[in-house]
Amino acid sequence: MEDSRVRSDGRLTIPGPEGPLEAVFREPRARPAPAAAVCCHPHPMHGGDMNNRTIYRAARAVEAAGLATLRFNFRGVGSSAGAYDEGRGEQEDVHAAADWLRNRFPGRPLALVGFSFGAWVGLQVACRNAGIGAMVGLGLPLTLYDFDFLCGNSKPALLLSGSRDEFSPPPDLTKFAARLPRNSRLKILEGAGHLLTERMNQVESSITGFLRAWVAEECSRC
C-alpha cells in the first residue's frame, strides 16, 4: 500500500497505475494555496528525473506564484514502480499525480508544467483532463515529437523555448506559433539552449507572472 503522507522534506509516494510513484510536494507556508500544479520531468532514458535542474527551477517559479507543487518521477525512474513506456503509460502517471492533487485540494484549480519529454507527455494530459485549467511547456522538442494537439487547445498556455534549442529550430518554432490559438503564447528566449539555463531567471519570472494572472482570473470567477 502506498504511503501518501508528506514527510518533513516534502517527499512521499503517491498511488500510480503500476504501483507507487516517488514524489516531492511543496505548499506555501504563509497562506493556503489557491491552486496547485503538477510538474513533469524530461526523458527518463536520458537521465531525466524530478530533480532535473530545469524542472526544479520551474517548480520554484510556480511556488513563487503562490501555488502548491507536486514533482514526481515517472514509472521506472528512481523508486517509482513500473518501466518506461514511450510516453503512453507516462500519461497515466500524470493523471494519477493530478488526481492526488485534486484530492488534496478539492475544488481548487490545477495547472501543469512540463519540460521537454515531460512537456510532450504532460501537455497532452492537460488538454484532455478537465481538472487542469492552465499549462506551461518548456523546451518543446518539436523535431522529436508531434505537438499538433496544442493547436486545438482551449486552455491558457505559456510555451517557452530557446533560440539555440537543437530540438526546436527557430523557423520551426515560428511556424508552430502561427498555428496556436490566441490563448496560447510561445516565447522564444534569445541565446538559450534546450535546457534554458542561459535564460533561467527569465523562465522563472515568466512562469510566475503567467500563473499569478491565471489564478487571479480563476479566483475572480469564484
Is residue 141 situated within a structural domain? Answer: yes
Inform me whether the pLDDT recorded for 4 exceeds 80: no
**Bridge partners (DSSP) listed for residue 135:** 112, 157
Please give the pLDDT value at position 172: 95
Which CATH number does the domain housing residue 147 bear?
3.40.50.1820
Q: Which domain holds residue 52?
A: 11-220
What is the average pLDDT value for the chain, to the nearest integer? 95
Stronger pLDDT, 86 or 10, i.e. the higher one: 86
Is residue 1 situated within a structural domain? Answer: no
Is residue 186 situated within a structural domain? Answer: yes
As for how many domains the chain has, the answer is 1
Residue with cell string 518554432:
173
Residue with cell string 498555428:
179
Cβ-count burial of 182 within 10 angstroms (0-12 exposed, 13-18 middle, 19+ buried)?
A: exposed
Residue 126: closest CA among 150, 107, 151, 102: 150
Is residue 4 situated within a structural domain? Answer: no
Task: For residue 24, name the pLDDT band (cuts at 50, 70, 90).
Answer: very high
Number of residues that make up the chain: 222
Please give the pLDDT value at position 219: 73
Is residue 6 situated within a structural domain? Answer: no
Is this prediction's pTM over 0.85?
yes
